Each structure stands twice: as C-alpha cells, then as structure tokens.
C-alpha cells in the first residue's frame, strides 16, 4: 500500500522562490503554479475548461475513463482529451494515464502567453516553460536518493512526469520509487512515465525499461529510481542537487 502521507505533496516545499506561486484546486485536480505574476482567477477557469474537455471524451466513450490501453475515438476531441488519447497511443497506456500532464499543459500554455516563465505542477507531473536552464529534483519517497539527484533542462518548453509504485494514489503495476520521463509534451511525458513505471519490478529492470521508453517517438529521456539504484537514458543528464530548485 502506498503511504498516505505522500498524498500531501510535501515535496512542494522545495519549489524555488523566484516566481509567484499559487494553488488552484478543483475536485481531484490540485495544481501548484508558478508564473511571473499571480493568475489565480484565469488559471481556475482554465482548469475547469480542461476538466470539462476530459468529461466530454468520457461521455462520448466511457472506456476513455477506465481503459488501461489506448482507446480509438471516432469523434473529434477537444484539446486536453485529444492530447491524452494521442499520448496513450504512443505510450501504450489508457488515456487517463496522461490526464495530469494534459491538464498541466492546458493551463501552462495559456499562462505562457503572458508569462515567459511558467511552472505548473499537477501531482508530480510538470509543465515547464522557461527562458533559462532549470533543474528538476527527483522525488522518490523513502529512497535515499530522493531529492538528492535532479535533471537539468535547457531553456524551452518541457513536460516532466513521475510515476511511482510506492508513492501517491495513481495506478502503477510496477515497484519503482520514481519513474521519470522528459518530453516536450507534458501529456506524453505523463503517459510514458506510467508505462515506464509498469516495467520496473526490480533494479535489474532499469536498463531495459529505460531503453524501451526512450525508443518511443517524442521522448527526450527518462530516469528510474529503485531503492538506492538509479539509471538514466536518452538526451538527459542527471545532476546532484545543491540547493538549486525549479
């Protein structure tokens, strides 16, 4: 059973102070947002829009909510649901494996129109738009490596998603402390992180699982933490955390 304490998202205390941070919560959606100025009212409206788009897809096809495999949708979908369906197709997961990243992307891209620096965190899944390099720490629960290692990102628009078989409420069929995927699409990173987590049952699985996920189109790189073991592959580099934050 995953420790309930981690649902409290204590890792948010590590966020840097260079942006204006605020929270937006709508039912299960709980965002921590950083931007050049506070945009709580507009962000709240965008969260509601994104959630409504997901509900539209579920109404059209109930399997969109429950399937652990990609779902073929004959009807045109609104942005958030379309990103989820496309990400699921690439990663081989159900559409809901991409919901946190897709909502973060929907809100983040709208904020980015007026703010050159944006960070939207949704349950460990991140949308980042930055004009400068940033380091994202890897939160891995009780692993001794948790928040000791980070991923260095160049300036640009990124999705960074983390799945875990030990932390948080999301479904994972693996046992990783942290399965992290980096892509330019936050929805794709989210679905691929779920797929990576599902492949990790012991530390011996790390190299082959990372190779498989990094072969997916659109994936920049991936990392995995299991107890005191860590691995990374693709076009990312791990770095020691030295007080620098997102």
The answer to whether residue 245 is domain-embedded is no
The answer to whether residue 10 is domain-embedded is no
The answer to whether residue 173 is domain-embedded is yes
The answer to whether residue 6 is domain-embedded is no
The answer to whether residue 7 is domain-embedded is no
Domain, as residue range, for 219: 16-240
pLDDT tens readout for residues 15-39: 554 789 999 999 999 999 999 999 9
The answer to whether residue 9 is domain-embedded is no
- Name the domain count of the chain: 1
pLDDT tens readout for residues 183-211: 999 999 999 999 999 999 999 999 999 99
Measured distance CA(125)–CA(186) in Å, rounded: 8
The answer to whether residue 8 is domain-embedded is no
| CATH code of the domain covering residue 184 | 3.10.520.10
User: Is the pLDDT reported for residue 7 higher than 50?
Assistant: no
**Where is average pLDDT lowest: 11-15, 71-75, 155-159, 191-195?**
11-15
The answer to whether residue 21 is domain-embedded is yes
């Amino acid at each position: 059973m995953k420790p309930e304490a981690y649902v409290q998202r204590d890792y948010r205390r590590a966020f840097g102070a260079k942006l204006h941070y605020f929270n937006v919560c709508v039912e299960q959606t709980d965002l921590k947002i950083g931007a050049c100025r506070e945009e709580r009212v507009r962000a709240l409206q965008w969260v509601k829009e994104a959630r409504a788009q997901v509900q539209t897809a579920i109404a059209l096809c109930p399997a969109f909510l429950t399937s652990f495999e990609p779902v073929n949708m004959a009807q045109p979908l609104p942005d958030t649901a379309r990103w989820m369906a496309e990400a699921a197709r690439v990663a081989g997961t159900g559409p809901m494996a991409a919901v946190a990243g897709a909502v973060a992307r929907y809100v983040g891209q709208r904020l980015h129109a007026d703010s050159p620096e944006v960070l939207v965190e949704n349950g460990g899944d991140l949308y980042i738009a930055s004009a400068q390099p940033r380091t994202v720490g890897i939160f891995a629960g009780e692993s001794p490596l948790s928040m000791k290692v980070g991923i260095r990102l160049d300036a640009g628009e990124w999705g960074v998603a983390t799945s875990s078989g030990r932390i948080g409420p999301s479904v994972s069929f693996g046992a990783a402390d942290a399965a992290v995927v980096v892509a330019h699409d936050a929805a794709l990173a989210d679905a691929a992180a779920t797929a990576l987590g599902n492949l990790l049952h012991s530390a011996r699985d790390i190299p082959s699982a990372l190779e498989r996920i990094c072969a997916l189109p659109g994936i920049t790189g991936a990392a995995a933490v299991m107890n005191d073991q860590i691995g990374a592959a693709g076009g990312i580099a791990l770095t020691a955390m030295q007080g620098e934050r997102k």
